[in-house]
Chain A
Amino acid sequence: MKLELIDYLIIAIYFVFVIGIGFLLKRQVKSANDFLMSNRSIPLWITSLAFISANLGAQEVLGMAANGAKYGLYTAHYYWLGAALAMIFLGVFMMPFYYGSKARSVPEYLKLRFDEKTRTFNALSFAAMTVFSSGVSLYALAMLMDVILGWNFDLSIWVAAAVVFVYIFMGGLTSAVYNEVLQFFLIVLGIAPLVFIGLYKIGGWEGIVANVADYKLHMWKGLDDPSHNPMGIDAFSMVFGLGFVLAFGYWCTDFLVVQRAMISKNLTDAQRTPIIAAIPKILMPAIVILPGIIILALQNKFPGYDLPVNANGDTNYNMVLPILLQKLYPNGILGVGITALIASFMSGMAGNVTAFNTVWTFDIYQSHIKKNASEKHYYYVGKIATIAGILISIMTAYVARGFNNIMDLLQLVFSFVNAPLFATFFLGMFWKRTTGHGAFWGLLAGTATATITHGLTVAEGKGGWIANTHEYFSGTSQAFNIAWISFLVCVAVTILISLFTKPKPDEELVGLVYSLTPKQTDSNKIWYKNPLWMGVAVLIVTLMFNIIFF
């Protein structure tokens, strides 16, 4: 792929704008509250788009296109089963507790609801997870630019990290959020023409139907048996593992996304943020999954669309988008396409770094190192945490380059921590008898169960490091099964220990637990402004997509 002056010019303009946003917002950031929480003053349309954009990182854009080619429309489960319902649940049921409790972060809610040890466990695992994810994003960006454009690996890492650093350091969370909105539009408008051109070239949806295997064009057909569908998965682990445990675990408890709703101006906006974000989310398969299906059709009809093969002989599905950009985009719009890819990496990285500096400052530093310092002091701690977050990300990117397996292992360990987390929140919010000891040991037991289950099962040659007691059809199936098993163990252990330990008195749980919190009298009579009815409307559309592509 060869870029021309016009392409470099577009990339340069993008860099000028993202850094410019940071500089513009610099004057508005004066305290830790401004820097780390945007003073809870961000308008609804911005929080909603930032909510979706924080999730629209490189793994999403490149990874879902790759999954589209590998698994076909089965990938849409991540959106039409594993996102919409969880986002609506967050908005309608969970956001009143996060926002209403005045917690500044998700771990801080755990402190208010349970105790310090549960918060610290969540804060430490989350902080580690975010900086390492940010590093993986940086590594993936540098690798991709090296492979498709021949750019120097070190230069890509340092330039991308420097740009993200400058705009976060100057404008804090507001700058990251504003840039996420710009990045959202850039990603959508930068990739949408690719989908349009691809569809035009193949002859529309009819062309896809004629050139792609039928089993890759359905969502639910073949779920009766793992051997009947491309994901190698059964209906129970798809619905319960992905649709419930993993989806709710991610969308309802991951501070990276929840933070975007928590900086809204008021509770109603905080509730509407994930629900409005669910609208572009359910349409996103057209941008991120369809390219993977389009390339399958193009491969069947035209030469030159074959995907490269890795050193171990596996098809490199991550090259779906780069190949389509190369084949379908002329110079000019190619610069926009490449900028969209860079934007997705930077969006993911900035989201992780801003979540990291908030959790580090409020949940680790303020809670364990220096409790009663001034607002100015925490402001500087937040800034130093930003520098540290970026440096650790860079370091991680280099570690990943040398030891690819270590990154796989790290991501696996983090997934073990995340899987049972929703059980802790769910019980904490909806069962007032849940205790701090129950939550903490439940979380530990769930995490340990996830690790052991991975050690006892094998999929695609991975896992089974204790013994091979069961073999899954695919790694995805293994991950979904590990999720629901660890969730159930977390629920069981939390309930058991809670029954034998002393709960907090009711008066301390007002605003933190559903049954003890006064229900809101919703002033929004117009249905499309009411979070519940908005959610129902989004769910109906989502259901229609499931039926159409059954």
Chain B
Amino acid sequence: MNKLYDLRFVIGVFFLIVGVLLIGYAFIGEDFFSYKMKINLSCGLLFSCFGLMMFALKKKK
């Protein structure tokens, strides 16, 4: 419960959820390597990495 009070954890969870959603959506109903897929996949990966980085910063503390 205590980690919920750590803002880095909350921000990390938010961006990880959004990132995973974008990655999942990138593969739905489009040709491989379409514009939609490339953008959503790369942004999804970026957001997921950012979310994980926030977790890492929290752990470092």
Contact = CB atoms under 8 A, between A and B. Distances in A.
B15 A189 contact: yes
B52 interface: no
A46 interface: yes
A307 to B, nearest CB: 23
A189 B47 contact: yes
Interface stretch (A130-138, A178-186, A258-266, A315-323): A178-186
B4 A24 contact: yes
A13 B17 contact: yes
Q: Is the interface of B mostly helix, strand, loop or mixed?
A: helix
B39 A333 contact: yes
A427 interface: no
A330 B4 CA distance: 33
5 contacts: A17-B10, A330-B40, A332-B40, A332-B43, A333-B39
Given A10-B18, A24-B5, A185 B39 contact: no
B7 interface: yes
The 7 closest A-B pairs by CB, nearest first: A330-B36, A332-B40, A332-B25, A333-B43, A6-B25, A17-B14, A193-B43
Contacts of A93: none
B35 interface: yes
Nearest to B50: A189
Nearest to B23: A332
Interface string B3-35: 011010011001101100110011000000001
Interface centre among A10, A17, A193, A333 (most CB of B within 10 A): A333
Is the interface on chain B under 10, 10 to 19, 20 to 34, or 35 or more residues? 20 to 34
B33 to A, nearest CB: 13
Interface in A181-239: 181-182, 185, 189, 193, 197
B10 A6 contact: no
A367 B17 CA distance: 47
A178 B7 contact: yes
Nearest to A197: B39
A178 B10 CA distance: 10
A13 B14 contact: yes
Interface string B38-61: 011011101100100000000000
Chain A interface size range: 20 to 34
Contacts of B47: 189, 336
A332 B36 contact: yes
Nearest to A333: B43
Given A330-B35, A330-B40, A10 B21 contact: yes
Contacts of A185: 11, 15, 50
Interface string A328-370: 0111110010000000000000000000000000000000000
Interface of B: 4-5, 7, 10-11, 14-15, 17-18, 21-22, 25-26, 35-36, 39-40, 42-44, 46-47, 50
A182 B22 contact: no
B7 A181 contact: yes
Contacts of A10: 18, 21
Nearest to A4: B25
Contacts of A14: 14
A331 B17 CA distance: 16
B11 A13 contact: no
Given A181-B11, A189-B46, A333 B40 contact: yes
Contacts of B50: 185, 189
A9 interface: yes
Contacts of B35: 330
Interface in A1-50: 6, 9-10, 13-14, 17, 20-21, 24-25, 28, 46
Nearest to A20: B10
A44 to B, nearest CB: 13
Contacts of B17: 13
Contacts of B4: 24
A46 B36 contact: no
B31 to A, nearest CB: 13
Contacts of A332: 21-22, 25-26, 36, 39-40, 43-44
A20 B4 CA distance: 10
Contacts of A6: 21, 25
A197 B43 CA distance: 11
A17 B4 CA distance: 11
B54 to A, nearest CB: 9
A185 B39 CA distance: 19
Contacts of A25: 5
Given A13-B14, A178-B7, 16 more contacts: A6-B21, A9-B21, A10-B21, A13-B17, A17-B10, A17-B14, A20-B10, A25-B5, A28-B5, A46-B7, A197-B39, A329-B39, A330-B36, A331-B36, A332-B36, A336-B47
Contacts of A178: 7, 10
A527 to B, nearest CB: 23
A178 B14 CA distance: 13
Contacts of A21: 10
Nearest to A336: B18
